[in-house]
Amino acid sequence: MDLVLQEQQQNTIEQAKSLLKKGCYKQAKLFCESNWGPINTWIKEEQLRISSTIYAHLGGDRNSDAITLRLYRSHKSSPKVLFDYWYYKLNNFGSILAQELFDKTKTLIINKEYTEDVIAFEAILKAQFNDFDQAEELLSNAQTQSDNKIWFETIRIRNLISQDNFETAFDLASELYESSPRISTLRAYFNAKQQVKGLKQATSFH
């Protein structure tokens, strides 16, 4: 692939990721298909990871899981693929098996670029086992090393809800959504507001 095509491919990937980050899943699908063809014909690692995210948010959970498994079997050395597989294991098989997988494979992540991803998943696991103090310590340490503070704050909000600290979660979620409105902060805000105000008021932004 020549340099021009490589640059075009990377630009498409970055624009697709930007759409996904905003929660524009249908738009991302249409945009990518206009550049790469039908979604079921994509074969490259980044294309497949994007298609997995699109499927997961447009009612195609089985397709998303199948892609995650396919990628893990063929790209086990890829940190991003491994992260996806960690979450697949947690969501489909529970925290015990996810912890076992994490313990066996976390040493494969040697690039410091991915440190925050490892810490975030470990914090999520700690919370699954109700070790919220350790989870908070991990999150606090990660935020001193990362620019991706929004992600860690959404994890913190979820942990506060799990501890029944609904008011604190709601205050944090409100502040986060106001300062950084996007799909992830909206979801955190809705979940926290539902605990404090109830479902009816959670669906209202008045």
Question: Number of folded domains in the chain?
Answer: 1
E strand or H helix at 59, and its extent? none
Look at residue 1 and tell me if it is in a domain.
Answer: yes
Supply the pLDDT for residue 148: 78
Per-residue confidence in pLDDT tens, the chain, 206 aa: 567 778 888 999 999 999 998 889 999 999 999 999 999 999 999 999 999 999 999 999 999 999 999 999 999 889 999 999 999 999 999 999 999 999 999 998 888 888 888 999 999 999 999 999 999 999 998 888 777 788 899 999 999 999 999 999 999 999 999 998 888 899 999 999 999 887 556 566 54
Q: How far apart are the first and last CA of the chain?
A: 52
Contact 173, 157 (CB under 8 A): yes
Calculate helix-pair angle for 149-162, 115-128, nearest 10 degrees. Answer: 0
Supply the pLDDT for residue 38: 97
In the structure encoding, which two tokens stand for residue 150, read together?
């929004």
Domain boundaries, position 6: 1-75
Supply the pLDDT for residue 202: 58
Q: Give the 3-state secondary structure percentages of the chain, helix then strand then coil, rounded to 5.
A: 80, 0, 20
Look at residue 18 and tell me if it is in a domain.
Answer: yes
Look at residue 71 and tell me if it is in a domain.
Answer: yes
Q: Per this entry, what is the length of the chain? A: 206
Model confidence, pTM: 0.84
Assign 157 to helix, strand or coil.
helix
For residues 164 and 130, give the distance between their C-alpha atoms in angstroms, rounded to a whole number: 12
Supply the pLDDT for residue 104: 95
Contact 152, 117 (CB under 8 A): no
Supply the pLDDT for residue 200: 55
Look at residue 93 and tell me if it is in a domain.
Answer: no
Contact 88, 65 (CB under 8 A): yes
